Structure 1
Amino acid sequence: MGDSLRIGFVGTGTISATYFDHLAKLNGVEVVAAADLDAARVKKVAEERGIRALTPDELYADPDVDAVLNLTIPAAHASVSLAALGAGKHVYGEKPLAVTRQEARPILEAADATGLRVGCAPDTVLGTGTQTARVLLDRGDIGQPTAATAFFTSPGPEPWHPDPEFYYKPGGGPLLDMGPYYLSALVTLLGPVKTVTGRSTRAKLERTVGSGPKQGTSFTVDVETHITGVLEHESGVLTTVITSFDVWGARLPRIEIYGSDGTLSVPDPNTFAGDVEVYSPSSHEWSVAETAGGYAESGRGFGLADMARAIRTDGKHRASGALAFHVLDVMESLLDSAMQEKAVNVESTVERPDAVPLGATPDQG
């Protein structure tokens, strides 16, 4: 590898545009090629971006590609990542790492066996929102953390999404869809999870498309749509979690952390920035904290650039495959707990990722 990590996209759907835009502005990475099963689409994208259009197999074999950015559908994440690793490429992908732990383990094993890197979204945790909250926690602004809450609630995507059925099939649901953002933030802030206790239900057995050409069409619901539980972190902190597609309106915080000397309100973990607020028991008031950490003006692709820097320096990358696997393990364990109606131990663990210092850039760490 030269000064820049040469990137090949596999998958050029809607999400690829924001990756192209952000990676073009970052040092240490260079997009050189793209591949897609839709030959017409990848040709159009390649012409617009000034890169080469390839088939997936051609991209895996290309000596001018150092790393594959896996932007395929979740069901293809494991097979694409394994193909890339088998061809000697580093891999960074959209969440989740794979649909199940069983599919995800071989990805990490292949990377370990070959000395290659695996990274995975979300990299929202590297922005100024979550990272400022981490600085405040680590310096003791709210004392000793004892508990936390994390809430994602919505009525589901069918009121606005023209083709929402896949959200309600195996691999979908509110936990697997939005949980990676919340759990990646919680692990970054409070450390890994060792035990979970969960319960789940579904409000409807059938849903109706609310917009687009399929408006009025009904489909069956095959997954649980309201999951709640308690996560016991290795640090001893207890986090109460709700993820739901069954709630029309709620006045709930995204993430709050409760400490012996105050409370911390963390901005939406599906975004890179946002105000971090602190409640002080001495003033009985909330105040907005000054930005204290994180990559400024960040967006999708910053995690990949962070991984590129780690490859060059033989350092650690933050949005790692190990973190993504632990998050997937926690989510599956929570669903297992709900089904078994008992507490479940989380088999995996992970090191808390390094903090992102204020003023840092992905190429410098």
Structure 2
Amino acid sequence: MGDAHRIGIVGLGVISRAYLDTLAGHPGVEVVAVADLDGARADAVAAELPGAEARSVQDLLAASDVQTVLSLTTPAAHAEIALGAIGHGKHVYTEKPLASTFADGTAVVEAAAAAGVGVGCAPDTVLGTGTQTARAAVDAGLVGRPLAASAVMVTPGHERWHPHPDFYYLPGGGPLLDMGPYYISALVQLLGPVRSVTGAAARLRDERVIGSGPRTGERIPVRVDSHVSGVLEHTGGALSTLTTSFDGVATTAAPIEVHGETGTLSVPDPNQFDGAVRHFALGGTDWRTLEPSAGYVGGGRGVGLLDFVQADEPRAGGALGLHVLEIMTALLRGADEGRRITLTTTVERPAPVPLTPAEAWRGPKGRLSM
């Protein structure tokens, strides 16, 4: 195993706490530096992490003691931070999406290849027992030949709970680029890459009202489509329908369903690591819940980074992040242009995750079971 892999974190907002819950104190990695536009916040986080220093963003990107930069900034800064890290010869693992535009995402992946460094990208929730158990069931033929899938995410909008939700309604945000990576990454895990997409989108409100925190009642502009639907044509022939919305109150739809010739799977929320996978067989009379059979048990944000720094072929890699980004941006472009878009990228399905107890991936040697 050798020395712990040294991590520098850029961006210490809401999601950083979930990452630190996984990474802080893990024997396989060491957080040596943190940076945020709010210097006081960086100082406070560094004080909680033995051996970590608060630094400026530029100093962290250039630091000789940082091997991988974990970028947890808002989406608009993902490409800038990634390219800055790569330019200093560092690996980079970024929150989703890989970038706010496909051109920027492509630039990140190409720059990393030229520099001989790695790129990883969230979400890693699909490495948990929920999506991975469903994938194992599909691969074992439990639904027969997969024919179709549906994925549905409906919420009234993040401004109801997030104290600073502005970026969700600016380019790089919206329900598709914010939440779509979970659902599309899961669909690629389940059914393989996508060859073309057709989309439709709408923006029914020009502003939102912040519902919590010090800015409660403040109105913010909406610059992106807030309801996006589409059809994904997988290379294997299956069709997936996708709905992501910040315009609905609630839904009774399963987060994901996979339909095959001999059965249907109900797949849990891909924004969570676990959840019940249910199967209804052709000719059956009821749903049955499958026991977890694959995935990181008790997974948390950051398990994909642990996988990234230790695996020869990371499961949350840049190629998958770029493919997911192209799917999303092509859906929006297809909606705008009123046509079907053929994709330019493809990707191999990441290696499945064997059922891995929490003590194995969090274990005394910090070594993931591959």
Q: TM-score, structure 1 length as denominator?
A: 0.94
Query: 1:198·1:335 contact (CA, 8 Å) conserved in 2?
Result: yes
Q: Are residues 1:8 and 2:8 paired? A: yes
Deviation by residue 1:117-167 (Cα, 9 ceiling, x = unmatched) = 110110001111100001000010111100000000111123333343332
Please, which of 350, 353, 358 is the counterpart of residue 355 of structure 2?
358
Higher mean alpha-carbon deviation, 134-143 vs 245-254, is at 245-254
Letter in 2 for 1:363: L
Q: Are residues 1:316 and 2:313 paired? A: yes
Give the corresponding residue for 2:22: 22
Deviation by residue 1:324-351 (Cα, 9 ceiling, x = unmatched) = 1110100000001111111111111111
Q: Are residues 1:177 and 2:178 paired? A: yes
Please, which of 325, 329, 333 is the counterpart of residue 326 of structure 2?
329
Any runs of at least 4 consecutive aligned residues in structure 1 with deviations exceeding 4 A, and if so which? none
Check 1:261–1:6 CA distance in 2 against 1; reply closer, same or farther (3 A cut): same
Q: Secondary structure at the match of 1:351?
A: coil
Query: 1:124·1:272 contact (CA, 8 Å) conserved in 2?
Result: yes
Give the corresponding residue for 2:81: 80
Mark the runs of 5 or more structure 2 residues left unpaired by the alignment.
362-366
- Partners of 2:158 and 2:62 in 1: CA distance: 38
Percent of paired sites with the same residue? 53
Query: 1:180·1:327 contact (CA, 8 Å) conserved in 2?
Result: yes
Letter in 2 for 1:364: S
Give the corresponding residue for 1:101: 102
| 1:143-182 equivalence runs, <5 A | 143-182=144-183
- Partners of 1:301 and 1:20 in 2: CA distance: 8
- Partners of 1:243 and 1:284 in 2: CA distance: 31
Q: Are residues 1:45 and 2:50 paired? A: no
Residue 25 of structure 1 and its aligned partner are, at CA, apart by 5.3
Give the corresponding residue for 1:136: 137
Residue 36 of structure 1 and its aligned partner are, at CA, apart by 2.3
Query: 1:309·1:364 contact (CA, 8 Å) conserved in 2?
Result: no
Residue 112 of structure 1 and its aligned partner are, at CA, apart by 0.7
Q: Secondary structure at the match of 1:285?
A: coil
Query: 1:27·1:363 contact (CA, 8 Å) conserved in 2?
Result: no
Higher mean alpha-carbon deviation, 243-252 vs 128-137, is at 243-252
Check 1:269–1:213 CA distance in 2 against 1; reply closer, same or farther (3 A cut): same
Q: Secondary structure at the match of 1:158?
A: helix
- Partners of 1:57 and 1:211 in 2: CA distance: 32
- Partners of 1:209 and 1:61 in 2: CA distance: 37
Q: Secondary structure at the match of 1:22?
A: helix
Residue 23 of structure 1 and its aligned partner are, at CA, apart by 1.2
| 1:254-273 equivalence runs, <5 A | 254-273=255-274
Residue 363 of structure 1 and its aligned partner are, at CA, apart by 2.5
- Partners of 1:55 and 1:207 in 2: CA distance: 33
Query: 1:85·1:111 contact (CA, 8 Å) conserved in 2?
Result: yes
Letter in 2 for 1:349: T
Check 1:220–1:83 CA distance in 2 against 1; reply closer, same or farther (3 A cut): closer
Query: 1:188·1:353 contact (CA, 8 Å) conserved in 2?
Result: yes
Check 1:345–1:161 CA distance in 2 against 1; reply closer, same or farther (3 A cut): same
Deviation by residue 1:8-53 (Cα, 9 ceiling, x = unmatched) = 1112222222212201354422222222232222122111111122
Higher mean alpha-carbon deviation, 16-25 vs 321-330, is at 16-25
Mark the runs of 5 or more structure 1 residues left unpaired by the alignment.
none
Give the corresponding residue for 2:32: 32
Check 1:150–1:84 CA distance in 2 against 1; reply closer, same or farther (3 A cut): same
Q: RMSD of aligned C-alpha atoms?
A: 1.7
Higher mean alpha-carbon deviation, 157-166 vs 240-249, is at 157-166
Q: Secondary structure at the match of 2:54?
A: strand
Check 1:127–1:25 CA distance in 2 against 1; reply closer, same or farther (3 A cut): farther
- Partners of 1:54 and 1:219 in 2: CA distance: 31
Residue 2 of structure 1 and its aligned partner are, at CA, apart by 4.3
Check 1:353–1:221 CA distance in 2 against 1; reply closer, same or farther (3 A cut): same
Query: 2:143·2:263 contact (CA, 8 Å) conserved in 1?
Result: yes
